[in-house]
């Protein structure tokens, strides 16, 4: 059983920064792509934010965070890190760490995720 534990959420001012971490554990968890999705208040679906492959080489960011967020992988600790800069109120959401299933077809699709973290709340206030 794979477990994903997020940390680092909280409240930030507009233009501020937060750093989210996702610690992965369990059989084979170091071998999979990890990512982040978020669910805004009142929204039913989770939208893709970022992802990083198991070796940390390939990184993906959604258009609305490019230039502001960065994703990385600490392979020694089997962690994924999301550095969020220049935050704005539209970034307010629950952020979920995600492990992609073997052979996923789309980095953007929540349906390609087989394990989720418990979520960590990010609030950006003006």
Q: Which of 114, 112, 79, 56 is nearest to 5 (CA)?
A: 79
Could you tell me the end-to-end alpha-carbon distance of the chain, in angstroms, rounded to an integer?
40
Instruction: Encode pLDDT of 32-64 as tens digits.
Output: 999 999 999 999 999 999 999 999 999 999 999
Top-confidence residue, 36 or 29: 36
What is the pLDDT, as a whole number, of residue 10?
97
Q: Are 29 and 17 in contact (CB under 8 A)?
A: no
């Amino acid at each position: 059983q794979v477990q994903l534990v997020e940390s680092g959420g909280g409240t930030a001012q507009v233009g501020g920064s937060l750093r989210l971490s996702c610690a992965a554990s369990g059989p084979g968890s170091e071998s999979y792509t990890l990512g982040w999705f978020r669910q805004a208040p009142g929204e039913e679906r989770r939208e893709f934010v970022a992802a990083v492959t198991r070796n940390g080489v390939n990184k993906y960011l959604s258009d609305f965070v490019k230039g502001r967020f960065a994703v990385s992988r600490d392979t020694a600790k089997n962690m994924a890190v999301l550095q969020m800069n220049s935050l704005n109120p539209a970034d307010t959401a629950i952020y979920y760490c995600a492990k992609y299933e073997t052979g996923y077809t789309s980095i953007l699709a929540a349906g390609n995720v087989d394990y989720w973290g418990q979520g960590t709340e990010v609030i950006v206030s003006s």
